[in-house]
Amino acid sequence: MIRWKNLLADSLNAVEVVTFDYPYISKRKPPPKAVKLVEFHSDFVKTVAAKYPKHPLILAGKSMGSRVSCMVAAENSIRASAVVCFGYPLKGPKGTIRDEPLLQLTVPTMFVQGTKDGLCSLESLEAVRKKMKASSKLHVVENGDHSINIGKKNLELAGITQEEAEQSAVESVAMFVSQIIGAK
């Protein structure tokens, strides 16, 4: 996420792009269920929002971080302006569709998803997006996996670099955020 943070900060000319790690990461333990991370995430977001009270709050996350960002954005005490999800993990461990956080959102949401993401097929995501109350946008990374990485062979076939694919995604996110900020 540090790479994405830097790309977003440059592209958005943001006041601050803040990252954090969940406590389990430093202990090298497997992640707990997403719902157990909501309080930590929410407290962190509230601290950052208090530091920049007059600025829009855009929550962004990768994989479980995007799922938890959606849960936090749905809280009444959080005044998020939008959510950006990189590699949203729609498919649960037993194949269940984990769409509850998305269906609870009321703020604009953007998805950056790879076409080869085993945890979120574009078809399943499209079905969920149609059910969402919140408006949503999608940026597709052709041949991107769950981490938005494109295999070397596919990069060569497409004639692009990983950096170019990421820059295209960041430009889409910047346009989305600019539209959100401009509407306020």
Quick one: pLDDT at residue 14? 65
Quick one: pLDDT at residue 132? 98
DSSP conformation letters of 131-167: H-SS-EEEEEETTB-TTS-B-HHHHHHHT--HHHHHH
Quick one: pLDDT at residue 53? 87
CATH architecture of 2-183: 3-Layer(aba) Sandwich (3.40)
End-to-end Cα distance, the chain: 27
Q: Residues 12, 177: contact at Cβ < 8 Å?
A: yes
Quick one: pLDDT at residue 5? 77
CA distance linking residue 98 with residue 101, whole number of Å? 8
The pLDDT tens digits along the chain (184 residues) read 677 777 887 787 765 777 787 777 777 777 888 888 999 999 999 999 999 888 888 999 999 999 999 999 998 788 899 999 999 999 998 999 999 999 999 999 999 999 999 999 999 999 999 999 999 999 999 999 999 999 999 988 888 999 999 999 999 999 999 898 886 5
Quick one: pLDDT at residue 109? 97
Residue 172: C-alpha distances to residues 39, 115, 138, 157, 169 (Å):
30, 16, 9, 23, 5
* Domain ranges for the chain: 2-183
Quick one: pLDDT at residue 3? 76
Helix axes 64-73, 38-51, angle to 10 degrees: 70
Quick one: pLDDT at residue 180? 86
Q: In this structure, what are the phi and psi dihedrals at residue 83, rounded to the nearest 5 degrees?
A: -130, 140
